[in-house]
Amino acid sequence: MTRIASGLERAFAEHGFAAPSVGHLRDAAGVSLRTLYNYTPSREEMVYAALEHRNRRYLEKVFGNLPADPGSALDAIFDRVGDWMRSETTRGCLFHAAVASAPQDDRLVDLLQSHKTEMARLATRAARLPGREVELTLIIEGLTQTWPLHGKTAVESAKKLGRMLLGSA
């Protein structure tokens, strides 16, 4: 299932949610159509599988094995978000794009909310800033949205904001 979800994630990240045909998604997953439908019996299930896979990868890459020092941990988080944007996507958050493509889909909205809530929880824990989930989400989301325009400058600005937040705690 991991290989299928990985291929689906790549296809949706590269081509959006509307453009890829089921044949394209099958090819991206590297399986037969029967196998694809066995694991993901609808296009919606394909999107959910891709996003759940992406969530696991993102959280591990951005929040795995962080330094113990809160300032160093925040810097590492912002550097890793920048690396993610450079290597994985240059168009912003795939979760937001999924919800924008199907705003009536409650499961997509729940996946988005769950992803962002867990991201905020991990960031506040690493930075030892309990109760500052909104502020850290704002910085990380701002970095995600401004990275396509400003690249490393956006990362450095996020680090400055993180230090200011730590200093005010």
Are the beta carbons of 97 and 16 closer than 8 angstroms? yes
Residue 114 belongs to some domain of the structure? yes
Residue 22 belongs to some domain of the structure? no
Structure tokens, 139: 């910085």
User: Taking Cα atoms as reference points, which of 125, 105, 122 lies closest to residue 56?
Assistant: 122
pTM over 0.85: yes
Residues 6 or more apart whose Cβ sits within 8 Å of residue 79: 155
Residue 56 belongs to some domain of the structure? yes
The whole-number pLDDT of residue 54 equals 94
Range of the domain at 78: 51-168
pLDDT tens digits for the chain (169 residues)? 789 999 999 999 888 888 888 899 889 999 998 999 999 999 899 999 999 999 999 999 999 999 999 999 999 999 999 999 999 876 778 899 999 999 999 999 999 999 999 999 999 999 999 999 999 999 999 999 999 899 999 999 999 999 999 998 7
User: Taking Cα atoms as reference points, which of 23, 33, 45, 148 lies closest to residue 89?
Assistant: 148
Residue 46 belongs to some domain of the structure? no
| Count of structural domains, the chain | 1
Residue 77 belongs to some domain of the structure? yes
- CA–CA gap between residue 49 and residue 23 (Å, rounded): 17
The whole-number pLDDT of residue 17 equals 87
The whole-number pLDDT of residue 90 equals 64
Residue 68 belongs to some domain of the structure? yes
Residue 72 belongs to some domain of the structure? yes
Residue 111 belongs to some domain of the structure? yes
Residues 6 or more apart whose Cβ sits within 8 Å of residue 18: 101
